[in-house]
Amino acid sequence: MRQFVVCGHDAPTTPDFPLDDLPGAAGRLDLLCRCVNAGLFLSHGIREDARVHLVLGDEYTVRFDGETARGLHPDERSTAARVREALEQREDAIGHMPADVNPGVELYRMGLADTLDALSGTVVQLHEDGAAVADADPPTDPVFVLSDHSDFTDAEAELLADAADRRVRLGPDAIHADHAISVAHNYLDTDGYTDYGGPTN
């Protein structure tokens, strides 16, 4: 299982946002939607072993599960519509019980700390001071934690200093969260393979 947790600092926590202005009025929801796309989609297929968790304003988390999702499309607008549908049912998310929104889409009343607590796996923080990914052994059941267009807040950084099993750097330049997800998938897809025809041993 590969999981990606993305902190959306300016993301909406109520459904009254327009689908026509995702970068502005919807607080860079465009970026978060691209993270869902990068996390779950293969060409003409879905990564069934992947989940993407969008943390909205440290208040709610929308979980997209590749194994059970149905009818997801890769474009930003339709994914944002799913987030909006999720937030419309926020009254049904109580404690750790999610609101069921659509097949494979659930809304939790949880911020980053509770979301990380609820996940099992190796928490990997993507960080500019981390080890180069090429030099690191691929983690088992990785939970990658990424930030949107803003840096992690001080509180998130403290939380991750405790929670993260590893800090990893993907390259010399800081890149967008969705691009980082594509690179992380490729790193895991190709590890241990040379000609991509099968395992090397």
Structure tokens at 83: 């987030």
Q: Is 58 in the site for a second copy (CB under 8 A)?
A: no
Q: Is 25 in the site for a second copy (CB under 8 A)?
A: no
Which distant-in-sequence residues (6+ apart) come within 8 Å of 59 by Cβ? 13, 109, 111
Nearest approach in angstroms of CB 49 to a second copy is 12
Nearest approach in angstroms of CB 40 to a second copy is 11
Bin 98: left if φ > 0, else alpha if -120 < ψ < 50, else beta.
Answer: beta
Among 42, 118, 155, 161, binds a second copy (CB under 8 A): 42
Q: Is 74 in the site for a second copy (CB under 8 A)?
A: yes
Which distant-in-sequence residues (6+ apart) come within 8 Å of 140 by Cβ? 121, 122
- Give the whole-angstrom CA distance, residue 132 versus residue 134: 5
Among 140, 194, 200, 201, binds a second copy (CB under 8 A): 194
Q: Is 126 in the site for a second copy (CB under 8 A)?
A: no
Q: Is 186 in the site for a second copy (CB under 8 A)?
A: yes
Among 37, 61, 115, 125, binds a second copy (CB under 8 A): 37
- CB nearer a second copy, residue 68 or residue 179: 179
Sign of torsion, CA 104 58 42 72?
positive
Residue list 92-121, contact with a second copy (CB under 8 A): none
- Give the whole-angstrom CA distance, residue 194 versus residue 201: 10
Q: Is 201 in the site for a second copy (CB under 8 A)?
A: no
- CB nearer a second copy, residue 140 or residue 194: 194
- CB nearer a second copy, residue 40 or residue 99: 40
CB atoms within 10 A of CB 26: 24
- CA gyration radius for the chain? 16
* Three-class DSSP category at 74: coil
Residues in contact with a second copy by the rule CB under 8 A: 19-20, 22-23, 30-31, 34, 37-38, 41-45, 73-78, 132, 134-135, 149, 169-176, 178-179, 182-183, 185-186, 189-190, 193-197
